A = this chain, B = another copy of it.
Amino acid sequence: MIGGVLLDLSGVLYVGSNALPGAHTALQRLRDSGLPLRYVTNTTRSPRTAILRQLAAMGFEIGTEQLFTAPDAARRYLRAHQLRPVLLIHRNLHPEFADFANQSPNAVLVGDAGEDFDYAHLNAAFRILAAGGELVAMGRNRYFQEQDGLSLDAGPFVCALEYGADVRAVVTGKPAADFFQTAVAELGCTAGETVMVGDDVEGDVLGAIDAGLQAALVRTGKFRDGDETRLRDTGAKVFADLSAVVDWILSQAGR
């Protein structure tokens, strides 16, 4: 019944710059099982190389070919649709989009811009949209867990622009079905045989269910009591943490 696994990163393996208790052992057991495994993240504050370096510093060695990111998906989308975006993204990520011409922009690309979500940048983006530009969002996550509390992710700012300009964003990362399917295609199993594991009830779990995957919500990271009630009748499972998910996966997969 389970032929492959997609793992979210932040909130599942670590929070901030600290590995979650038991995450190393759980991940190792999953890898040792031989089940195909890929990592899928909507993190848009760091480029791919920095994500991998940060993971390695916490003791998670992951090959670059195993990592699927929302910025990669955004690059594919912008290219396919010949868009010239104004960038409302984190300054760390600008180099990854430097090759998109930004003269006579016809789109706005939104990621988690952090401190660059200010009035001047948002208003400039709004004016592009009000003039007919396309809104492309790498995710619409509401918030993420920082060590001192929850912090606003890109989703609220995507909503602000949608409402201001009366448009709808195209989302390229989770929960877009295309994003999940691109990762599933690497696993050698079907969407229905794949389990998505994450701490975000919407982006990770409901998104995966809508895309035809199985899904598991962990009670770590940004999980909040009550999130699990949104999974009623979806078939998604809820677990204490990655260790508990791996127990279940290995029993289901007969490994």
Contacts and interface: CB of A to CB of B under 8 A. Distances in A.
A130 to B, nearest CB: 6
Nearest to A141: B164
A101 interface: no
A156 B130 CA distance: 13
A155 B162 CA distance: 11
Q: Which of A114, A130, A166 has the most CB of B within 10 A?
A: A130
A142 B115 CA distance: 22
A83 interface: no
Interface residues of A, number: 30
Majority-rule SS of A interface residues: helix
A97 interface: no
Nearest to A115: B119
Contacts of A156: 122, 126, 159-161, 163-164
A151 B125 CA distance: 10
Interface string A121-147: 011001100100000000000110000
Nearest to A157: B160
Contact of A127 (B116, B117, B126, B150): B150
Interface of A: 113-120, 122-123, 126-127, 130, 142-143, 149-152, 155-157, 159-166
